[in-house]
Structure 1
Amino acid sequence: MTSIDLNADLGEGFGHWRLTDDEQLLTVVTSANVACGFHAGDPATMRRVCELAAARGVRIGAQVSYRDLAGFGRRAMDVPPAELAAEVAYQIGALEVFARAAGSRVSYVKPHGALYNRVVHDEEQAAAVVEGVLLADDSLPVLGLPGSRLLELAGKAGLPTVTEAFADRAYTEEGTLVLRGRDGAVLTDPEAVVARSVDLARLGTVTAHSGARIAVRARSLCLHGDTPGAVELAHRVRQRLEASGVRVEAFV
């Protein structure tokens, strides 16, 4: 039977402000990408999400980012490699404290936002992220875009790699994501997102922004938690996947 992991970005709040419905999304997803304080999140939020995830048997992932609270980690930044490696390790270590306290552990690492897009092609920044993961734990899987420099370098360094696809993001013909801010970069039609999820899981294909059909083979499917109606959409995606004969389970 075909299987796929469902991941979502969680803990994206700060203080009394919350962007994601963590409690409800944790009833649907199998992996939680927890913000580690650099693009969103704070110690209390990280602790709460880890406790909720551990109680539901959801895997905890460190969603590492550029230090960019004001821009939600989506602004392009040039960070020296040694500094970026240290900051990646720092974020993983901070989350590990709360994961362990909740009776779980950090099970993988996924970059966020501008850093995620940068390490698709930028070898220097990708190498810095890999160095940071190795500093924190040289057994941690790295989640990223198929064909990215990040996954290539992580694999060469001996880290497990996990390919990821996006149910609600537009793709270029090269298999990369259409940058946010461009027309059609984010899919807003719920039925289109649900249908795409099934195609990605069962066929490993997606229709690019140009209309071309391309191969995108992934072990994990990302559902964004910061979009309107995210919880209802996540439920619909999971229900349709299971009805289509896809087993939803964590990749680790």
Structure 2
Amino acid sequence: MQRIDFNADLGEGAPFDRELMALVSSANISCGFHAGDVALSARTIDLALEHNVAIGAHPSFDDKANFGRTPMALSPNAVFDLVLYQCGAIKALVEARGGVLHHVKPHGALYNQAAQDADLAGAIAKAVKALDPKLKLYGLAGSLSLQAAQNIGLESVSEVFADRRYLSDGSLMPRSQPGAVLSDDDEVQAQVLAMVQRGEVIAANGQPVALAAQTLCLHGDNAHALSLAKRLHQRLGALGIHIEAP
């Protein structure tokens, strides 16, 4: 049976977190630096435990004003401390409730910069391993983030995106460009099936790009997230593709 992890970024203040949590197999919970706060993170952890969803920490640059999506130039040491601090807080909240932190997935600009910057990717991977070497690191398929994890013996999980358009080098189209975020149900489903079943995505220029799909992300702040998630969940199930955390 083919399997895929279905993850979403939650605890960011969207009104449908409860409904979305019931559809995913893993949740990336905001650490409060790009959205939310301690109380919201704690409530979202409780929700994940209620639904038996694998819990991940979702650290970012300290940038609530821009939802963590503004690139920043920080030293590797600063990034190490930033990631360790945020993920350590989420891990403590999870364990105090009897749960186990499953993975770490960086957010926004931190995620995208690390995908193309070996020093930044290395700092993140080292912070995750320092916190708990059993944690998994979610990173963009084919990126330096995955390579950095593999270099230090940390388990990595190759991530693809249901609702983002890709460029021909396998990177995500910047959100500043028109059409970067997909909202049409049929287009999202077609892209997901191509990635999950054929291991490829059609880039913005029409070129097919090979990628490994181990976990599928749907952004929780997408206005159409809930309807897209419901249809994807149904479609994957109908095709006999089991949704399960790695």
Q: How big is each residue's C-alpha offset from its partner over 1:180-235, in whole Å with a ceiling of 9 and x where there is no partner?
A: 11021111211111222122111111111001122121100001111112112101
Q: Structure 2 CA distance, aligned partners of 1:238 and 1:87?
A: 34
Structure 2 match to 1:157 = 152
1:28 counterpart (12, 18, 23): 23
Count how many residue pairs are aligned between Structure 1 and Structure 2: 246
Secondary structure of the equivalent of 2:66? Answer: coil
Is this contact kept in 2: 1:198–1:244, CA < 8 A?
A: no
Shift of 1:20: 4.8
Shift of 1:238: 0.7
- Which ranges of 4 or more aligned residues in structure 1 deviate by more than 2 Å? none
Is this contact kept in 2: 1:2–1:201, CA < 8 A?
A: no
Structure 2 match to 1:190 = 185
Q: Structure 2 CA distance, aligned partners of 1:206 and 1:151?
A: 19
Which stretch of the first structure deviates more once superposed, 222-231 or 155-164? 222-231
What one-letter code is carried by the residue in structure 2 that aligns with 1:55? E
2:116 counterpart (106, 109, 121): 121
- TM-score where L is the length of structure 2: 0.97
Which stretch of the first structure deviates more once superposed, 35-44 or 196-205? 196-205
Shift of 1:103: 2.1
Structure 2 match to 1:55 = 50
Q: Structure 2 CA distance, aligned partners of 1:227 and 1:134?
A: 31
Within 5 Å, give how 1:57-206 maps onto structure 2: 57-206=52-201
Structure 2 match to 1:207 = 202
Q: Structure 2 CA distance, aligned partners of 1:189 and 1:112?
A: 23
Secondary structure of the equivalent of 1:61? Answer: strand
Structure 2 match to 1:2 = 2
Q: How big is each residue's C-alpha offset from its partner over 1:142-184, in whole Å with a ceiling of 9 and x where there is no partner?
A: 0011221111011111100100000111111111111111021
Q: How big is each residue's C-alpha offset from its partner over 1:19-57, in whole Å with a ceiling of 9 and x where there is no partner?
A: 352111111000000000111121111110111101111
Q: Structure 2 CA distance, aligned partners of 1:188 and 1:218?
A: 20
Q: Structure 2 CA distance, aligned partners of 1:156 and 1:88?
A: 18
Q: Structure 2 CA distance, aligned partners of 1:134 and 1:231?
A: 33
Secondary structure of the equivalent of 2:56? Answer: strand
Q: Structure 1 CA distance, aligned partners of 2:227 and 2:218?
A: 11
Q: Structure 2 CA distance, aligned partners of 1:206 and 1:84?
A: 31
Structure 1 match to 2:216 = 221
Structure 1: gaps (5+ residues): 13-17
% identity of equivalent residues: 44
Which stretch of the first structure deviates more once superposed, 2-11 or 126-135? 126-135
Secondary structure of the equivalent of 2:5? Answer: strand
Q: Structure 2 CA distance, aligned partners of 1:188 and 1:117?
A: 21
Secondary structure of the equivalent of 1:40? Answer: coil
- CA change 1:20–1:130 in 2 (3 A) is farther
Q: Structure 2 CA distance, aligned partners of 1:80 and 1:217?
A: 30
Q: Structure 2 CA distance, aligned partners of 1:119 and 1:230?
A: 25
Q: Structure 2 CA distance, aligned partners of 1:185 and 1:47?
A: 31
1:231 counterpart (209, 223, 226): 226
Shift of 1:5: 0.5
Secondary structure of the equivalent of 1:111? Answer: coil
Secondary structure of the equivalent of 1:70? Answer: helix
